Amino acid sequence: MTAAPRTTGSGTSRPAASPDVPPARAGRAEAARFVAARTVPGFARPRAMRAYAATLRALRARHGGAPVLVRGLSGTVLVLLDPQDMRQFYAEPVSCPAPDAQDPQAPQDPPDRPDPPDPHKSLIRRDHERREEQRRINDQVLAAGAPVHPSCGPFLGVIAEEARHLTAADTLRLARARSAVARTGRRIVLGDAAAGDEELAGWLSRLRGAGNWPGLRKARGRAARTVYDRTTARIAEYAARAEPHTLVGRARGHADPAGQACHWLLAMDTVPGTLLRTLLLLGAHPAEQDTAAAEARAAGARAGGAALGELPRLRACVRESLRLYPVVPDLIRVTRAETEWRGVRYPAGTSVLLPALFHQRDPEHVPAAHVFVPGRWTTPGADRDIRMAPFSHGAGRCPGDQLGLLVTAALCAEVLRGHRVAGGRPVLDPPGPLPATLDPQGIRLTLTRR
Ligand code: HEM
């Protein structure tokens, strides 16, 4: 999958395309709705997202499911509207040279990246060779594909301690979740010595900001570089004395462990919002919450709590929350060679966009698309169903998927073992349809003791 550049896409077994087959194109009004869904501020976004989904469905119907070129604010993208094109997308090489890719540390922006920002943005798009090398390190250190990370024992100990902050008050909001997760992340990535390093937390948040404001990115490039240098220097200090079970300890001997650790710390930002959304959804589904709490209690009681690393039901709840509210709602690849999609050829350098959120919630292909149904993730192979991509697929699949699930599910379990989510804001309607977006800033969870 991380193949060398190809002269055609993976559809090479199809009949040769006629060079003059014209591509399908979206009209101006459709393009405007496409852009709006990715740029409007929070309060207007649910409506914009509904209009966006309706537009994509209408385009699919009009063009018989063929990919459609849409003109956005920062260029034209080829949007994949039919699940049958997904396999080819995931087979594309992941390297995505962007116009300003000369600086390997420069965060890269897909076209019209929606706000709120995607904390994974700085992780996923690098020049090819560098990415291949990083991928090897990521796979090994993060134990990609292993359901339970080799450092699960010490990680669960950290999670149990830090989760106490989550239940320290009757109401759980984003600020508290962020702080508990950031401490957890620093201890998992760098070791206990880094737990309270708020200065490092501040630098990371500046780096995140620098990567997420496309317009200001260039202007801020130098300042961000200085912050990046300070951050990696501090990380290197921790790395020198980190316990072997930490991620940076496991990365010892590899190239640039400090740079990698910086990415892992940023990647932990995916957890607080996912945690709050999952708990809010469980609060609205009491029977599901009881099942999850029973699993958490049983796992905590077994073999000193090691089973808290597995938690299949809670992991299914986290996956389902990510299906409804993905961290990365759009996946993007920039082709490295000419590709062919449904008989139409596109030159190298074409931006191809897979609107993952649209597909994951597409009522034409996903049963109960707008309803919380964790059970759909418990059937064998559900994780490989390419219509669902909370962690992507193929060569670009998240190497931290299992670690992210482990941390999020174990934090949920720690909350649910002693507490019940008795209410929450916004109020959700269990039979659905669930809202198109769920801004974690607006989530308030009411916790009561069990
Ligand atoms: C709930 C948590 C998480 C979610 C939903 C998530 C989601 C994703 C997705 C969708 C991608 C691929 C994007 C694409 O195909 O273009 C990705 C990539 C990546 N993720 Fe995660 N992730 C999570 C947690 C983590 C954690 C905890 C780490 C590390 C500590 C991590 C590290 C990475 C890295 C390094 C990449 C880039 C992989 C590459 O370029 O090959 N992720 N993540």
The string of pLDDT tens digits covering residues 313-342 is 999 999 999 999 999 999 999 998 999 999
Kindly report which listed range (126-135, 138-147, 354-363) carries the lowest average pLDDT score. Answer: 126-135
- Other Cβ atoms less than 10 A from the Cβ of 257: the count is 23
Q: For ligand 1, is residue 396 a contact (CB within 6 Å)?
A: yes
- Other Cβ atoms less than 10 A from the Cβ of 383: the count is 15
**18 C-alpha vs ligand 1 centroid, how far in Å?**
38
Q: For ligand 1, is residue 360 a contact (CB within 6 Å)?
A: no
Q: For ligand 1, is residue 34 a contact (CB within 6 Å)?
A: no
Mean pLDDT, residues 174-180: 98
The candidate with the shortest Cα–Cα distance to 440, out of 429, 416, 423, 424, is 424
pLDDT tens per residue across span 246-286: 999 999 988 889 999 999 999 999 999 999 999 999 999 99
Q: For ligand 1, is residue 394 a contact (CB within 6 Å)?
A: no
Could you give the CA distance from residue 217 to residue 278 in angstroms, rounded to a whole number? 32
Kindly report which listed range (13-22, 67-76, 144-153, 365-374) carries the lowest average pLDDT score. Answer: 13-22
Q: For ligand 1, is residue 110 a contact (CB within 6 Å)?
A: no
**Best mutation site among 80, 118, 121, 124 for ligand 1, i.e. most ligand atoms within 8 A of its Cβ?**
124
Could you give the CA distance from residue 33 to residue 133 in angstroms, rounded to a whole number? 39
Could you give the CA distance from residue 154 to residue 308 in angstroms, rounded to a whole number? 12
Mean pLDDT, residues 386-407: 95
- Other Cβ atoms less than 10 A from the Cβ of 434: the count is 19
**Best mutation site among 120, 189, 270 for ligand 1, i.e. most ligand atoms within 8 A of its Cβ?**
120
How much is the mean pLDDT over the chain?
Answer: 86
Identify the pLDDT of residue 37: 79
**Best mutation site among 80, 123, 323, 393 for ligand 1, i.e. most ligand atoms within 8 A of its Cβ?**
123
**450 C-alpha vs ligand 1 centroid, how far in Å?**
34
Could you give the CA distance from residue 166 to residue 35 in angstroms, rounded to a whole number? 37
Sequence spans of domains, the chain: 24-449
Q: For ligand 1, is residue 251 a contact (CB within 6 Å)?
A: no
Tokens of 53: 């989904």
Backbone φ and ψ of 337, nearest 5°: -145, 170
Is residue 433 within 8 Å of 182, Cβ to Cβ?
Answer: no
CATH 2.40.30.10, applies to 24-449: no
| 3-state secondary structure at position 24 | strand
3-state secondary structure 236-285: HHHHHCCCCCCHHHHCCCCCCHHHHHHHHHHHCCHHHHHHHHHHHHHHHC
DSSP state of 117: -
Tokens of 34: 């496409």
Identify the pLDDT of residue 84: 95
Mean pLDDT, residues 395-417: 96
| 3-state secondary structure at position 171 | strand
**158 C-alpha vs ligand 1 centroid, how far in Å?**
22
Q: For ligand 1, is residue 124 a contact (CB within 6 Å)?
A: yes
pLDDT tens per residue across span 86-142: 999 999 876 543 433 332 233 333 333 333 334 455 444 446 677 788 899 999 999
Within 8 A by CB and 6+ apart from 385, the residues are none
